Chains A and B, each alone.
Chain A
Amino acid sequence: DGGITQSPKYLFRKEGQNVTLSCEQNLNHDAMYWYRQDPGQGLRLIYYSQIVNDFQKGDIAEGYSVSREKKESFPLTVTSAQKNPTAFYLCASSIDLLVAGDADTQYFGPGTRLTVL
């Protein structure tokens, strides 16, 4: 089955610890994204990557880091510098081609719920 997987589904972290959230896709999509969702708010973009070994900051990148060593994988690290990391994190991917059609629709993974204890 083609799709986007995120793990773990639930993650607990002690204050001061770094944690890494996994996102893998087998859709052969070029672009991948990380969003954060807080209660009563829409999704906000953390980081995105349009090609391997390259990524850009989104609107709320402070306290987060990413890597894109493989096309299929885009892990997100929540560092101790992130002051309020408790949230629901969603990964997405899309075909990043300069063509019309379905090229720009983003498809989402099932999400990871991160709680800081």
Chain B
Amino acid sequence: AQTVTQSQPEMSVQEAETVTLSCTYDTSENNYYLFWYKQPPSRQMILVIRQEAYKQQNATENRFSVNFQKAAKSFSLKISDSQLGDTAMYFCAFMKPPWLIGGNKLTFGTGTQLKVEL
């Protein structure tokens, strides 16, 4: 079974600064997908960024980027120019492809609560 570990329960960052959230995972699969979701106080889960394991290039979405280290099974999220609206719980998630047994199901980490301060 896959596991996802987020070892930082809470983090804080000053507005306009950069912060990195850590995520490690365990799997024996070679093909899979990784996601970062954001859950603000409204509790709506919002997709931040996704990465396909077969792509070597790290995914980026505006101020959000990942550092995907496949051999180390590490998938960290970097938030640049942090804004107050980035305050949220951030979840890392793993998924096997839909064509595999047990695929298309998300396995989540326990989350990192990020607070952006003035």
Contact = CB atoms under 8 A, between A and B. Distances in A.
Interface of A: 31, 33, 35, 40-45, 48, 50, 58, 88, 90, 92, 94, 96-98, 100, 103-108, 110-111
Interface in B37-90: 37, 42-47, 50, 52
A40 to B, nearest CB: 7
B48 to A, nearest CB: 11
B99 A98 contact: yes
B110 A111 contact: no
9 contacts: A41-B110, A42-B111, A45-B105, A48-B104, A50-B104, A104-B97, A108-B37, A108-B45, A111-B43
A40 B105 CA distance: 21
Contacts of A33: 105-106
B19 interface: no
A85 to B, nearest CB: 17
A31 B93 CA distance: 18
A33 B105 CA distance: 9
A43 B97 contact: no
B54 to A, nearest CB: 9
B104 A31 contact: yes
Contact of B4 (A42, A92, A108): A42
B47 A105 contact: yes
Contacts of B98: 50, 96-98, 103-104
Contact of A90 (B33, B45, B99, B111): B45
Contacts of B91: 42-43
